[in-house]
Amino acid sequence: MDFEPLGVAADLVILTVRDGSLQVLLIRRGIAPYRGRWALPGGFVRPKEDLEEAARRELQEETGLLSDRIHLEQVATYGEPGRDPRGRVISVTYLALVPDLPSPVAGTDAASAEWVTVDEVLTDQNRLAFDHHRILTDAVERARAKLEYSPLAAAFCPDEFTISELRGIYEAVWGVQLDPRNFHRKATKTDGFVIPLGATTTRDGGRPAQLFRRGPAATLHPPLTRG
């Protein structure tokens, strides 16, 4: 069995919600091709390394996050010939959802890594290197869809969060305003979505809010609805 020369890369769409907007972690390419352009973090899968393992390694290198507790999910694989001028490269793309990080970006490549608002990146077709514009589009669409029927939004939150903070995730990702009262009702009544901790916090100002943890549900019944 002989193979054509070909590389397999694990690329990452790392999303977070900061200051009320959905943001993606980009790195500025220091070498050709696309030198100086922004790109999704990623790198080649090593021999004897599993795909997801490679993605977690890249995630840690870029963000310093202990990736055990980070939601990471495969989105799609791109392999069009010519998508990388260096040769045939198959890109397996993973979506990572991380809470708003205290330190901006603590990875090894910190100097050239930056959080950028997704809307801003997507309005310019040529902002990103390779076919990363398309990859980001697909990953964001996946994230938006999954918020409806999965408890994924909680992956953007710290361990303990308030219903308002959770609502803020939905509003940022979907780009809509949600009624606080109806959202509160649905989030707390949906089976296994959130678990009340008893404690409260006043970090959002106003009346103290209950703190919650993520619940055990894998899917939401009934789903949350967009708009």
Partner DNA sequence: CGTCATTGTCGTCACTTTGACGATAAGACC
Partner DNA sequence: GGTCTTATCGTCAAAGTGACGACAATGACG
Which residues form the interface with a second copy (CB under 8 A)? 1-8, 45, 47-51, 74, 76-81, 86-88, 90, 92, 149, 223
Does residue number 74 form part of the binding site for DNA (CB under 7 A)? no
Under rule CB under 7 A, which residues in 151-170 are in contact with DNA? 162-164
Does residue number 146 form part of the binding site for DNA (CB under 7 A)? no
Does residue number 141 form part of the binding site for DNA (CB under 7 A)? no
CB 85 within 8 A of CB 131: no
Residue 124 CB, shortest distance to a second copy, in Å, is 26
CB 52 within 8 A of CB 46: no
Distance of CA 100 to CAs 5, 65, 104, 136, 202, Å? 40, 12, 9, 19, 18
Q: Give start and end residues of each alpha helix (H) in 3-103.
A: 51-63
Residue of 47, 81, 102, 205 that binds DNA (CB under 7 A): 205
Does residue number 184 form part of the binding site for DNA (CB under 7 A)? yes
- In angstroms, the CA 139 to CA 143 distance is 6
When CB distances are held under 5 to 8 angstroms depending on the partner's kind, the choice from a second copy, DNA, none that residue 50 binds is a second copy
Does residue number 213 form part of the binding site for DNA (CB under 7 A)? no
Question: Taking Cα atoms as reference points, which of 84, 103, 99, 100 lies closest to residue 40?
Answer: 84
Does residue number 200 form part of the binding site for DNA (CB under 7 A)? yes
For residue 49, give the amino acid letter: E
Q: Under the rule (CB under 7 A), what is the footprint of DNA?
A: 162-164, 179-182, 184-186, 188, 200, 202, 204-210, 222, 225
